[in-house]
Amino acid sequence: MLTKEENEKLSRVGPGTPMGEMMRRYWHPIAASSQLSERGTRPVRLLCEDLVLYRDRSGAIGLVAQRCPHRRAGMIFGIPEQEGLRCAYHGWLWDATGRCLEQPFEQTEDPNSTFKDRVTIKAYPVEEYAGMIWAYLGPQPAPLIPHWDVFEMENVARDIGATVIPCNWLQCMENSLDPVHVEWLHQYFSDYVLERLGRPDLKRRAVRNGKRDESVLKHEKIGFTVFDHGITKRRVLVGSTEADADWAVGHPAVFPNYLRAINAFQIRVPIDDSHTWHVWYTYYHQGPGVTVDRNAPIPFYDVPAATLAADGQPEWPFLDNNSGQDMSMWYTQGDIADREEEHLGYSDKGVIIYRNLLKENMEKVARGEDPMNVFRDPAANEFIELPVEKGSYRFGDRSASTVSPRTGQASKYSPILREAVKIVYGEEKLNEPVHSFTETT
């Protein structure tokens, strides 16, 4: 358990809070590039700050305060110019650094006025990278956006899914340090969901050495190791031995708010203390002879938040996949989980290690140091390879193996995998619950 004070320190991300100050040392994705149209604006809330993202007529992007400093009108109605964003109310023009370029009537009254040079709008650096738009809300000089392997791989197809989850980011992230939930939430509960949907025949089961194993996967042993970029997980499953590949490096929790899955990132972006923008950034290896233009637009898709129905009951069709199951556990803990009331056991050792790592890095920031995974040397940021759990999911040749992981993450909604389903099985397959074996060899 945590005291109320400790819980507040780990959870809250507003300006001036210990976690908020640490989180402001990182770049955060705030939109997929395809979500911001040419010459468009988009509201953004990040780390408890309300902002407006825009693309001007030159194609440059900017991120400014929600309201114009003149009469506090909403910049969401701003007019993109060749450079910058013009307030719709009185025409004051702002550039991406927050500098005022024009005050039309004030300059008409007094052509020599220096008023515009004495007024600024809050603005933050933004960059486009890997098909997403990133923002940095921290002190200068800004670090580099980390070039993780997921973003830098060649000849892979990609898609980006996202949703807003009505709970604190930490609840999402702690799930990544909890291997044991897989056997219950993503197997036992998943079977119950399929039963409720009228398809008990689609139970999830393991495949070992190419054969279906009617027993569910159960953990015999779990372990965690802090490494340069976060925490790796290890597991031994019942029926295995440590000589098997099971006791191998697992998919890591990448500090502070990423999960590196077999073929994806899950990124938990803190909107504020009680909402998280959850991103699934997925890549798919291509079959022989298939090439992918890395500069091609990356498709974006919305993922249902899998919240309860209006009558307070579960919506079962949203719960046949891992993302829906995970989300239901996260937001039902409350806006911010009350960790004074929790009772941690052996299965929570990874959660404890992660919380301690958060505390250590908040203390580093308080001392004026960079926390873990802040990169400033371009030579160390060219291709940052991460350990990945051994898995047998295969993608990209549009064969049946492409379809097998649709239960995982948000893959049920992936446009790439939905197209693969239509090609391999026919469109009618999209109308039934998703299901797959859990492959372990």
When mean pLDDT is compared across 97-106, 223-232, 337-346, 383-392, the lowest value belongs to: 383-392
Contacts of 29 (CB under 8 A, 6+ apart): 132, 133, 134, 267, 269, 277, 279
β strands within 130-274, DSSP E:
132-136, 156-165, 206-208, 211-213, 219-227, 230-237, 253-254, 258-261, 264-272
Average pLDDT over residues 260-275: 96
Q: In this model, does residue 400 exceed pLDDT 70?
A: no
When mean pLDDT is compared across 6-20, 231-245, 291-305, the lowest value belongs to: 231-245
CATH number of 29-136: 2.102.10.10
Position 421 confidence tier, pLDDT thresholds 50, 70, 90: confident
How would you label 204-218 residue by residue, b for 16+ Cβ within 10 Å and e otherwise? bbbbbeeeeeeebbe
Position 401 confidence tier, pLDDT thresholds 50, 70, 90: very low
Calculate what percentage of the chain has a pLDDT beyond 90.
77
Burial category of 221 from C-beta neighbours within 10 Å (exposed 0-12, middle 13-18, buried 19 and up) = middle
Q: In this model, does residue 21 exceed pLDDT 60?
A: yes
Q: What are phi and psi of 427, to 5 degrees?
A: -65, -30
pLDDT at 252: 94
Position 392 confidence tier, pLDDT thresholds 50, 70, 90: very low
Strands 219-227 and 85-86: unpaired
- Amino acid letter at 335? D
Residue pair 120/70 in contact (Cβ under 8 Å)? The answer is: no
Position 245 confidence tier, pLDDT thresholds 50, 70, 90: low
When computed from its CA atoms, the radius of gyration of the chain, rounded to whole angstroms, is 23
pLDDT in tens, 58-94: 999 999 999 999 999 999 999 999 999 999 999 999 9
Average pLDDT over residues 39-44: 95
Q: Any bridge partners for residue 124, and if so which?
A: 63
Position 291 confidence tier, pLDDT thresholds 50, 70, 90: confident
Average pLDDT over residues 262-284: 96
How do the domains of the chain map onto residue ranges?
A: 29-136, 149-439
Average pLDDT over residues 148-164: 96
Q: In this model, does residue 241 exceed pLDDT 80?
A: no
Q: 3-state DSSP call for residue 122?
A: coil
Mean pLDDT across the chain: 90
Spatial distance between the Cα atoms of 399 and 271, rounded to a whole number of angstroms: 38
pLDDT at 394: 32
Confirm whether pTM is higher than 0.75: yes
Q: 3-state DSSP call for residue 329?
A: helix
CA angle 225, 277, 336 (to 5 degrees): 75
Sheet of strand 438-439: strand arrangement: 211-213, 206-208, 438-439
Q: In this model, does residue 221 exceed pLDDT 80?
A: yes
Spatial distance between the Cα atoms of 155 and 294, rounded to a whole number of angstroms: 7
Q: 325's torsion region: left (phi>0), alpha (psi -120 to 50) or beta? A: alpha
